[in-house]
Amino acid sequence: MFVDQAKIKIKAGDGGDGAVSFHREKYVAAGGPDGGDGGRGGDVIFQVDDNFSTLIDFRYKRKYAAERGQDGSGRNCTGKSAPPLIIKVPRGTVIKDAETGRIMADMSTDEPKVLARGGSGGKGNVHFATSTRQIPKFAKPGFPGEEFEVTLELKLLADVGLVGFPNVGKSTLISVVSAAKPKIANYHFTTLTPVLGVVKTDEEKSFVMADIPGLIEGAGDGIGLGHEFLRHVERCRLIVHVVDVSGVEGRDPKEDFRIINEELEKFNSELSERPQIVAANKTDMATEEQIADFRAFIEEKGIPFHCISAATTKGTHELVMKISEVLDTLPPIKEFEAEPIPQAQLDETAGTGKAFEITLEDGIYYVDAPWIQPIMRTINPDDYSSLQYFQRVLINSGIIAKLEEMDINEGDTVDIEGFEFDFVY
């Protein structure tokens, strides 16, 4: 089953929490804090694996999460960092942010790409000792790892894309010029998946050709089967437009040529500017007048024209050599550049990183601030310096200012994520 699109969720590992610990050793008085830092969470890394040819595995597993970093421990021991989670994808997979459509990575090379970074470990209490605070009973929690919902799109890596209406002979052509063996029959939509073939032109020279399943009118708008595979033409350096010049099925080759080019442009305007060669197929069943008329029509547009009969292999060698000659003058296969996060999105994220909401119900001020939960885990309510640290967090985040704006009085109850205390100035 050929699957070339999938949507998954990826989550890098959270950092481990810093430790609250004090040195304990016989004959050593007041050993001081020795809580170590937490370990780093695991990254999510994508890597190309040429043993994969489709994205079918991602239809059955949609959530991928890296491990959390280990918590710190006593004796200044830093927690163990989590290993990265490596996700293997077929070559040519383009990864996009599902929410914004931003291209995050193009997996066309062997270079691994880190898509979600693990959170840093929290600081242990050894970092918070000062001359006036010698026994800090709090530490910092680990930072959360990045998480995204991403779409995976497989865009085949091919030098040449064969396009044209169903049953014009594309599958036959690729089968006679390469080792590819697609299913061939005399009915529409025989080819249900793209087929890749390596075409050798010399001992050390070759190119990759892709047979794109037959397009029909309206394919650019999602009609028929061909629209499912238009994305695979995007990378092709050269388009070979196969046309049935014989008209044995009652079709007009000129109209076919016009319709297919319109569908390519509708799908991606860049495709209309891609170099093109027209291969007039089934010339063994066409009249000289039909061939001459179509040749004049194509050459008038300045497009190279070749007569072939894929079924008898007539003219296919000449076509292959022409393709190789044109490819020598063209840039490499297109790679999609990773796009930076838009500044507006960065500003929005920065503004909501410590967002909170306060509601007053039955005399209790309820503070909804999910980001504060990891910090709450490290607070010791019985320790004065720990409470001072917590107070600074509330002041710096703007929660105290908001409570004062709501006319809170000393002694009123505040509930922060289930932790209740009396407000004092």
* pTM above threshold 0.85: no
229 or 223, greater pLDDT: 229
What mean pLDDT comes out for the span 305-332? 93
Q: What is the pLDDT of residue 350?
A: 46
Q: What is the pLDDT of residue 228?
A: 61
Residue pointed to by tokens 């099925």: 249
Residue 45 clears pLDDT 90, i.e. is over it: yes
The yes or no reply on domain 160-327 and CATH 3.30.365.10 is: no
Residue 29 DSSP SS3:
coil
Q: What is the pLDDT of residue 87?
A: 97
* Cα–Cα–Cα angle for 408, 410, 413, rounded to 5 degrees: 70
Residue 375 clears pLDDT 70, i.e. is over it: yes
State the Cα–Cα distance between residues 89 and 58, nearest whole angstrom. 9
The yes or no reply on domain 1-154 and CATH 1.20.1440.230 is: no
Look at residues 281, 108, 259, 269 and name the one whose alpha carbon lies nearest to residue 211. 281
Distance (Å) of CA 385 to CA 57, 136, 264, 404: 51, 6, 67, 23
pLDDT tens track for 271-303: 888 899 999 999 999 999 999 999 999 999 999
Whether 1-154 shares its CATH topology with 160-327 is answered no
What tokens appear for 69 in the block?
A: 């970093």
Q: What is the pLDDT of residue 31?
A: 76
Q: What is the pLDDT of residue 39?
A: 95
State the Cα–Cα distance between residues 163 and 211, nearest whole angstrom. 7
What tokens appear for 65 in the block?
A: 């999460």
Residue 208 clears pLDDT 60, i.e. is over it: yes
Look at residues 131, 34, 142, 141 and name the one whose alpha carbon lies nearest to residue 385. 131
What mean pLDDT comes out for the span 9-29? 87
What mean pLDDT comes out for the span 7-32? 86
What mean pLDDT comes out for the span 249-263? 88
Q: Which amino acid is at 18?
A: G
Q: What is the DSSP letter of 61?
A: -
Where on the phi/psi map is residue 259: left (φ > 0), alpha (ψ -120 to 50), or beta? Answer: alpha
- The residues facing 147 across adjacent strands are 11
22 or 372, greater pLDDT: 22
pLDDT tens track for 93-128: 999 999 888 999 999 999 999 999 999 898 898 888
Q: Is 61 exposed, middle or buried (0-12, 13-18, 19+ CB in 10 A)?
A: exposed
In percent, how much of the chain has pLDDT > 70?
87
State the Cα–Cα distance between residues 400 and 9, nearest whole angstrom. 36
Q: What is the pLDDT of residue 1?
A: 52
232 or 79, greater pLDDT: 79
Q: What is the pLDDT of residue 291?
A: 93
pLDDT tens track for 132-179: 777 888 888 888 899 999 999 988 888 999 998 888 888 899 998 987
Any idea where the domains of the chain sit in the sequence?
1-154, 160-327, 354-422
Q: Which fold has domain 354-422?
A: GMP Synthetase; Chain A, domain 3 (3.30.300)
